[in-house]
Amino acid sequence: MSRLSEALSAEVGGDCWRDGKDLVVRPGCTLPGRCIKCNEPAELPMRHARFYWHHPALYLVVFLGLLLYLVIAVFVRRRTPVTLGLCARHRQRRRASLAIAFGGALLGVLAIGVGAARELVPLSLAGLGVIVASVIVGILGSRLLVVTRIGENYTRFRGAGDEFLSTLPAFYRAR
């Protein structure tokens, strides 16, 4: 089955639902061929994304050491692939955020290098600040969806637009 036909078959909502402000999907699903932010038709090809999640309590391990946390997180994290769509406007916005982040990081590294070479501590500190700001812009501006939980059968996301969510069937789970 081609990606376009998968996207069209997902229009009926067989693998994706709304649950309040959450998007609920089955692992490996292809979302409908519409922008997940504004519900406009998605540009093809649709984006194949892999999302990761681990229980939030694992962040407590950071107090024992960052390297220990990273090693444990790599082994206990869960992942799920999802194929999703973005319209031209949101795809361009995401690319611009990444370009700004990358350019800002390069500018920050340059400022640190010049500051260190000329012994200008304020310039080096400003460069460090620009790098931190660039990382934040890159993370916040480029993320598509935020995983809130990956379970055995379903993955929950935040960040899909209300227009997109309103077109999906309600999630019903027998209790």
pLDDT band at 95 (very low <50, low <70, confident <90, very high): very high
Check pLDDT > 50 for residue 173.
Answer: yes
Mean pLDDT of 166-171: 90
Check pLDDT > 80 for residue 13.
Answer: no
Q: Is the pTM of this model over 0.85?
A: no
Mean pLDDT of 91-112: 93
CA angle, residues 8, 164, 88, in degrees to nearest 5? 75
List the structure tokens of 103: 């350019």
Mean pLDDT of the chain: 87
Cβ atoms of residues 146 and 157 within 8 Å: yes
pLDDT band at 7 (very low <50, low <70, confident <90, very high): very low
Mean pLDDT of 83-87: 93
pLDDT band at 174 (very low <50, low <70, confident <90, very high): low
Cβ atoms of residues 141 and 101 within 8 Å: yes
List the structure tokens of 78: 């869960």
37-50: per-residue pLDDT in tens? Answer: 999 999 889 989 99
pLDDT confidence of residue 11: 45
Neighbours of 97 (CB within 10 A): 17
